[in-house]
Structure formats: C-alpha cells, structure tokens
Amino acid sequence: MKKKIRTVAIVGGGPSGCALATLLKRKGFKVGVFYLEKRPEIIVGESLVPAIVPMLRELGVEEEVKNYSTYKPGASVWVNKDEEATSPFSFGGGSLPPYAYNVPRVKFDKTIFDNAVKEGVQFFKFAAKIEQVNGSDTLKLSDDTIAAINDYFEGQPDLIVDATGRSRTISRMLNIPTRQGYRKDVALFAHLSGAEKIYPYNIHLHRLEKGWTWRIPLPDRISVGVVINPEHLKNYGSTKEEQYDNYLKSDETLKKFTANAKRETTVMQYDNYQLISDYMYGPNWVLTGDAGGFLDPIFSSGLFLAIKGAFRLAKTIEIGTDAAFKQYQKEQMRELRVWQKLVDTWYSGRLFTLFKVGQDRMDTAFGRFIGPHMQKHLTRIFTGEAVYRSYSRSFLNFVTGSMIDLMKVGRLHNRKVADLEIK
C-alpha cells in the first residue's frame, strides 16, 4: 500500500460505498462501484443524528434529503411507561446543527447513489467476484469480472474496498476474527399507519417489560421496532410477522401506541447488532461501513458511522501509505469501542438509574451544579458528539459510573439497588 493508489474498486453500492466513491472521484481517482439493485422494502437506520448533517452538506445532498424526510429536533426516552426524558438537540450545544432527519432509507440510499452518478462515478450492475492471490491475503478481481467491465481499471485495481455491509464479503473470505457483543437480541420492525401521532418529531425510545422499542415518525408512517431476546418471542408465533404483530398486541406500552395501527410493510428482522472485525485492511484491500463493524441501533449511530468512515477512508486513500491505513484502522476501532461503551450503559440500565436516582438530588447544591452538565453531555450521546469530545467522554464515564454509586448511597442509606437493566 505504499505505492500510489490511482484506481479503486468499491464492492457495494450502499451509502458508505457511494459516499466514498463520490469523494474519491472528486479527488481524481478512477473509481468503479459494483452493486446489485436488490434492496429490502424497508431498511434499519432511519433516524439520523445531527453529526451526519455536515457530511450531507459536503456531499451536496442535504436539501434533497430534507424534502422527503421528517425534521427531527431531539430524542425522547421513557424510563418507564409513565416517565419521559426529552432532550432537544439544542441542549447539547457544541458545533453541530440542532436538528437531524428521520429518513425513508430507500429514498436516502437512492439520493447518495444518484449523487455519485452525477459526480461521474462508474457503476457496474453486478456482483464482483473477488479471489485470493495464491492463497495469500492479497486479493484480486477474477478474470471474468475484469472481462465483464472491459478492463476498466487497465488491469487489477490498486485497491479493493469492501462496502458490502453485513454481507462482509472480504471478512468472510479471509476468515477475519471478530469480536461480538454479549447480547444476542434481534430487531423486528415495520412501518405502521394509524399509530399514535408523535410531536415534536423526535425519535421515541421506550423500555418494555422485555427489551425496548423505537418509534420513528416518517412523513406518512411511523417506523416501530422491537429489540428483544429471541427467546422471548417464541410464544408469539412461528414467523417474524406473527411474532411482531402479536407482541405489539400483548405488550402494554406497545398496545397503547399501536392499538389502531395497520402494518403497511413486511416485517424486517436484523440479528446481532454488535460485531467488529479484528483488522480492517490488508495488502491491497480495506473494509468500510458495516463490513468492518456494526453496533446496536439504540443511539442511531449506524448510518452516521458508515458515512463518517467513508470520509475518513477517502483521506486515507489519498495519502496511500501503510501508516495511513494503520491509522484509519486504529480510529475506526477506537470509535466503535467508545460507541459500544455508550450502548452498554443503555442495556446495563445505568442511564435509566442515573435519571431515577438523580431525581431527588437535583434540588441540592450539587444537583444544581451538575444538572446543566448532565443535560448537555447526555444530549450529546443523541447528537453523535459525545464520542468526539474528551471532556464529554470523561464526564459520561463519571456520571454513569462513580456518581451513580455515590448518589445511590446518599439516597438509599447504603441499601444496594440494582441498575434498571433491560432484560
């Protein structure tokens, strides 16, 4: 990778691959994207975070996205069915816009794809076949693939980028080890009409008796998803449609919001949201987006990380040295690790415990001092900024760790209290 990179083959035509292709084309690289048009009816990742907005502006697509999306001013979280905590993004301060969008993903993905086409990116409407060179970690496009694209790269491309998402083409081929999260939840979701209206158009997150649910207001429907241990679903039916429909009818919280709703789409299922590859680049290839690592959807980080990774990788490819790719890998893994820590505070219940135990402490001198800090930096989890500010990271580690323990002792006179873990 120390040689000058001039030609890049990107395998995968989703937002990460297309954003990368656009950025590389602008820098003068010869780029070819291999893609298949087959897309699900609905796709997870509909709720964007403010941190993605500056990148949409740089790509030149924010106005188009705005035209078909729902304006999203914040996030609302229910500690239980009766207690809500709402954070307008403006509470986070910082340098990010105080808004984001809830997007129909099929339209959003097409916007990023069409933008790459407008920039002059070459697309090939079939799956590239990748082969190992003499059983090594060096890869190449097959002879059939080179012939099918009329030798577009004038030989082999200098770099192959895996942007195949959860298909993880190169990782599977090379048997790259992975680190998986401790939870094995599944997510079932669909679009509903006639569900209870949401205003303002925040993403709404609710604890359930088992698992948790999201509600995302889209222009003409509401996306409702349930993240839950699959063992809990076995009694609700044998198909994902039966399980989803019956669970919505049985859970007290979901029943309230969806009693008069009609499901307008198929039910989509996503398994295991926590997987990170042990390494992300090799002699002439690199992973980006979900192909390198993906996390639980709770803080809406997935699409943001995919696009951000594309921006980071474009700069890396422009430098072209092994040191640059090593740094890319280091930054990608660090970012995923930090987000994973935030995800863990949700499932362990530490975020909920912070809210509950802190309620009767906010009228104290300490509460009045710490309250504005908590509001700002907890909001930054939902804007996407918490990961990138060292003070925010340190503060969140403190308030979801040592401070909770101290507050519990002060409130409950040394009686042990379990965190409000999501089961």
Cα separation, 413 vs 298, whole angstroms: 33
Element (H, E) at 18: helix 15-26
Tell me phi and psi for residue 422, to 5 degrees.
-85, 125
Going along the chain from its start, the domains and CATH numbers come out as 7-69+104-179+275-341 (3.50.50.60), 186-271 (3.30.9.100), 347-412 (no CATH)
Residue 254: name the closest of 72, 74, 78 by CA.
Answer: 78
pLDDT in tens, 117-163: 999 999 999 999 999 999 999 999 999 999 999 999 999 999 999 99
The beta strands (E) that lie in 358-406 are given as none
Strand partners, 159: 8
- Residues 5-10 have a mean pLDDT of 97
Cβ distance 20 to 310 under 8 Å? yes
Q: What is the pLDDT of residue 404?
A: 65
* Angle, CA 250 vertex, CA 257 and CA 267 arms, to 5°: 70
Residue-level pLDDT at 414: 41
pLDDT value at position 417? 47
Helix runs in 160-225, H state only: 169-174
CA distance linking residue 197 with residue 276, whole number of Å: 37
- Report pLDDT digits (tens) over 341-373: 888 888 887 777 776 655 555 566 655 666 676
Quote the CA–CA distance of 229 and 41 in Å, as a whole number.
24
Q: Is the pLDDT of residue 59 over 50?
A: yes
Specify the amino acid at residue 133.
V
Q: Tell me, what's the pLDDT at 3?
A: 65
- The predicted-structure confidence for 381-391, as pLDDT tens digits, reads as follows 888 888 777 77
Each residue of 207-241: pLDDT tens digit? Answer: 898 999 999 999 999 999 999 999 999 999 999 99
- Mean pLDDT computed over every residue of the chain: 88
User: In this structure, what token pair is assigned to residue 362?
Assistant: 């906010």
Q: What is the pLDDT of residue 105?
A: 95
Run of H or E residues at 330:
helix 322-348
What does the pLDDT read at residue 268? 96
Could you read off the pLDDT of 290-336 as tens digits, one per residue? 999 988 888 888 899 999 999 999 999 999 999 999 999 999 999 99
How far, CA to CA in Å, does 65 sit from each of 18, 55, 87?
15, 12, 23
